[in-house]
Amino acid sequence: MAATKDKITRPRGVAPRPQRLLGHGLVALRGVWPAIALICVMLAAWQAISSAGLVEQYVLPAPWDIAKAMVSDAGLFWTASIPTLTAIIVGFVISILIALPIAIGMVYSPLLQRAIYPLLVLSQVVPKVALAPLFIIWFGFGTAPKVFMVVLIAFFPLVVDAVVGFQAARPESLMLVRSMGASRWQAFWKVRFPWALPSIFAGAKVAITLAVVGAVVAEFVGADNGLGVVITQARGNLDTVTVFAGIGFLSIIGLALFAIVSVLERVLVRGSRSGRSFEAAGSL
């Protein structure tokens, strides 16, 4: 009963904004602890299996050894991370810069939509990994083929979700600002773009994780530096600990980038669009 009482002490919708943000943070923390607990249990089981000598060290090294390698070789991994991270971020930003104008064009021009949409689908039907060797032939072993791969893999969810977002604005809302004498420019920035933001961010979250995949795939196929190269070389030496440590660093990069996009979303997307109210979150 005490828990129920706690919940109703905050009157509906009266909390000032800073408290609401803090509330979101606490709710998020409360939300992740089961996941953290499960991960800990799994790591412990893994450690137990490895320590008991049930599997060979070169097949499945112990998580503790991997963690030690990640710390002791942190400098090496960090140096290798920079080109990978650069490719991911540059590719992701280019994807956004390409995807948003295409989406806007498709929303405002049905002709453009009919012309571009089949091409978009085609670009995704072609197995992108199979294109990686081509990019190396065209752009060499530097950053360019990686960026190209990241863009190719990341821009599709961005375009698709942005198109959905730009079409989400209610026609009545657009009529309303027209009756206020709004220009097309104003109608876009005051209504269409903010309506599209949640959808754009949904696409961006998918795209940022795919961007990591794109960069690593490009590095696997052929590159002169990056975490993917470290992993490939370690695999050649049957140095499984380094392979796992590299995967660990890639996961950290992926998580961090996803978190940055999520934080940006929380800052930029104000108000609730689909019943995602803080009352609902607070009653968890």
CB of 280 to another protein, least distance (A): 10
Residue 139 in contact with residue 148, Cβ under 8 Å?
yes
Q: Residue type at 76?
A: L
Shortest distance, position 25 Cβ to another protein, whole Å? 19
Decide whether 73 or 161 has the Cβ nearer to another protein. 161
- Smallest distance, another protein to C-beta of residue 120, A: 29
Q: Which residues of 121-134 are buried (b: 16+ CB within 10 A; e: fewer)?
A: eeeeeeebeebbee
Nearest residue (CB) to another protein, 67 versus 177: 177
Q: Which residues bind another protein (CB under 8 A)?
A: 12-13, 16-17, 170, 172-173, 175-182, 186, 190-191, 194, 197, 269-273, 275, 277
Token pair of 184 as six digits = 């097309």
State the Cα torsion 246-248-254-257 to the nearest 10°: -100
In whole angstroms, how close is the CB of 175 to another protein at the nearest point? 5
Task: Using the minimum distance from each CB to another protein, give the nearer residue, 51 or 272.
Answer: 272
- Min dist CB 256 to another protein, Å, is 27
Residue type, 150: V
When the beta carbons of 71 and 180 are compared against another protein, the nearer one is 180
Nearest distance, CB of residue 193 and another protein, angstroms: 10
Query: Residue type for 88, please?
Result: I
DSSP letter assigned to residue 169: S
What are the C-alpha distances in Å from 76 to residues 71, 133, 194, 262? Answer: 10, 27, 43, 29
Nearer to another protein, 68 or 270 (CB): 270
Number of residues that this document lists for the chain = 284
Helix (H, G, I), strand (E, B) or coil at 40: helix
The residue among 24 and 178 lying less far from another protein, judged by its C-beta, is 178
